[in-house]
Amino acid sequence: MQVKMIQHAVGQGGLFSGELNAGQGLLRWIYDCGSNQRDALLREIKTVAESGEIDLLFLSHLDSDHICGVDQLLAQVEVREVVLPYLNERTLLATIARDASRSSLNGTMVEAASDLAGWFGSRGVETITFVC
């Protein structure tokens, strides 16, 4: 079994990628996809997307510095499954309010918040898994 993990240089935020080869094919994943340094983030998204299809995209939480690049990622490469935390309406609104108070809220998050599963599905994601 071979495992490869990369922490991408995106500044404040997070973008990690990895591959697992267990002899039965390659499993590719991304963990978080955001940064407050847009140029670095877009550069690293392009690098990740050029390697091909992503099996799993894990989102640790929905702060903008961890998700603001998701729409760009999904526009460049197919992602089969997204795994993200379940947030009730109150917690989701609190997350949006916090990002707005920090001037880091983007329109993508507001659009996605009304229907996360539908938003990801409209971008070609086959499976959306919410974790409590």
Which of 46-55, 57-66, 118-127 bottoms out in mean pLDDT, i.e. has the lowest?
57-66
> Would you say 19 and 52 are in contact if contact means Cβ atoms under 8 Å apart?
no
User: Residue 66: its pLDDT value, please?
Assistant: 87
Least-confidence region, from 5-14, 89-98, 108-117: 108-117
At 71-86, the pLDDT tens digits run 999 999 999 999 999 9
pLDDT for residue 8: 94
Given strand 26-35, what is the order of strands in its sheet? 2-7, 13-21, 26-35, 54-58, 79-85, 127-131
Q: Which domains does the chain have, with CATH numbers?
A: 2-131 (3.60.15.10)
pLDDT digits (tens, 9 = 90+) for 105-124: 777 777 887 888 999 999 99
